[in-house]
Amino acid sequence: MAFQTADTSAAKPSGANPGHANSWYAASARDKRIRPSLEGETEADICVIGAGFTRISAALELAERGYSVVVLEAERIGFGASGRNGGQIVNGYSRDLETIASCYGRERAVKLGEMSLEGGEIIRQRVATYGISCDLVQGGFFAAFTDKQMREMAQSKAEWEKHGHSGLAMVSQDEVSRYVKSDRYIGGMIDTLGGHIHPLDLVLGEAAAVESLGGRIFEGSRVTGIEQAERPVVRTAAGSVRASYVLACGNAYMAPLLPEVHGRMMPVSSQVMATEPLDADLIESLLPANYCIEDANYILDYYRRTADNRLLYGGGIGYGGHDPKDLTSAIRPNMLKTFPQLKDVRIDYAWSGNFALTLTRIPHMGRLSDKVYFSHGDSGHGVTTTHLLGKILGEVVAGHAERFDVWASLPNLPFPGGRHFRVPLTALGAWWYGLRDKLGL
């Protein structure tokens, strides 16, 4: 079987760090080395396509187990969502465990619940084991606008606690200012096991760890096809890798390479901006605990401090991966609703990226054959989930399929509406949920 690739050439190279989106992350990344591209034929136990969190996590798991690993990245390590996101370590999945139980049954929900804190734990462990400098900070705050959102948070807290999560606490309106100085919220919930990171530094640090264990990573090496065989062959324009197993998971950036999963995934863009560095007293007064903040609306705002005292503010959504023309004008009004005192602050960077949405909002994992595995669709909450799923991909290749089989058994349906109507239909659904948030329903 041969597959065709997506064209991701629309992404503009930046002067600060060529080949990456022009983001604060690319400008401030600690490791700006460019890896060579693949030339000629080579062999490995495992060929991993793409160098985002999922694949680098899988590659690291496999390299730690002693397998030889080759990673092929079309652009640069962390070029996709992994190097551009809000950097928020959010535990769990894009759907709460009760919803998962109602879709997939209680037994599967319990199994997913058992794994739901592991992604964050993997990040903390790797940062410690490999000494990765990525500005890791502990603590997250979910901000509520309405009583209904407070009730929903209290319910998910009770559900989480059944799975052993002891880091959650409800926050009353009087206590909100401990975490965020904004009068928009009526309360919320903290998660002391949440937190934030410089995501590009994290994925670059994990990539360096793969290399330290003998793994090889090629940038500028877009995969153009996978030939199925006893040992599949993965081809780029200038070379090929023959491997015992292939892990193909380019998420929102790779769908046409895998027509089998294309209709089950929709690229969705989100936009982020970073202010100029703020006076230390000012940023500390806005976010005193240095927690990351995510609000509880369907189309949510997410923001946090950076290590150099910028406010990094994200929000907005573009179904089908479409962005507003002027990113700053799209996000800045939301920032000013939260912090009107920042009206004169300069915006130094604004960028966007695509994540992969599934119809169920639950990641989709499976086998294309007994040699080729895929995973995608973290649906916007991917920093922790990708680390978990990458580890599980590593496990299945190493012969331990139990956890992979739980994920692969979850039915993942195509989006309704076919090629032409799936984007407007999804946008309509999101508009309805957004309206409910505005009306406090």
Ligand X SMILES: Cc1cc2nc3c(=O)[nH]c(=O)nc-3n(C[C@H](O)[C@H](O)[C@H](O)COP(=O)(O)OP(=O)(O)OC[C@H]3O[C@@H](n4cnc5c(N)ncnc54)[C@H](O)[C@@H]3O)c2cc1C
Distance CA 220, CA 76 (A): 7
CB of 377 to ligand X, least distance (A): 8
* Of residues 237 and 435, the one with the C-beta less far from ligand X: 237
**Which DSSP letter does residue 345 get?**
P
* Of residues 14 and 148, the one with the C-beta less far from ligand X: 14
* Of residues 45 and 323, the one with the C-beta less far from ligand X: 323
- H helices of 213-300, in order, are 259-262, 280-286
CB of 26 to ligand X, least distance (A): 13
Which residue's Cβ has the minimum distance to ligand X? Answer: 382
Helix-helix angle 382-397:53-64, to 10 degrees:
40
Contact 378, 251 (CB under 8 A): yes
Query: Which positions touch ligand X (CB under 6 A)?
Result: 5-6, 8, 49-55, 72-75, 79-82, 84-88, 90, 222-223, 249-254, 257, 270, 272, 302, 314, 352-355, 378, 380-383, 386
* Of residues 68 and 88, the one with the C-beta less far from ligand X: 88
Distance CA 375, CA 390 (A): 8
Distance CA 220, CA 20 (A): 11
The owner of tokens 């189309």 is 299
* Of residues 54 and 156, the one with the C-beta less far from ligand X: 54
**Which DSSP letter does residue 74 get?**
S
Instruction: Read off the tokens for 197.
Output: 């990171």
* Of residues 119 and 187, the one with the C-beta less far from ligand X: 119
SS3 content of the chain, % helix, strand, coil (to 5): 35, 25, 40
Contact 179, 293 (CB under 8 A): yes
* Of residues 90 and 168, the one with the C-beta less far from ligand X: 90
Report which residue type is found at 415. Answer: F
CB of 351 to ligand X, least distance (A): 8
Instruction: Read off the tokens for 363.
Output: 């990641």
* Of residues 215 and 353, the one with the C-beta less far from ligand X: 353
Beta-strand runs (E) in 133-186 = 137-144, 168-171
* Of residues 85 and 360, the one with the C-beta less far from ligand X: 85
Helices (H) and strands (E) in the chain, counts: 13, 17
Report which residue type is found at 197. Answer: I
Distance CA 361, CA 104 (A): 13
CB of 389 to ligand X, least distance (A): 8
User: How distant is the alpha carbon of residue 413 from its chain centre?
Assistant: 21
Q: Among 374, 438, 436, 381, which Cα is nearest to 407's?
A: 374
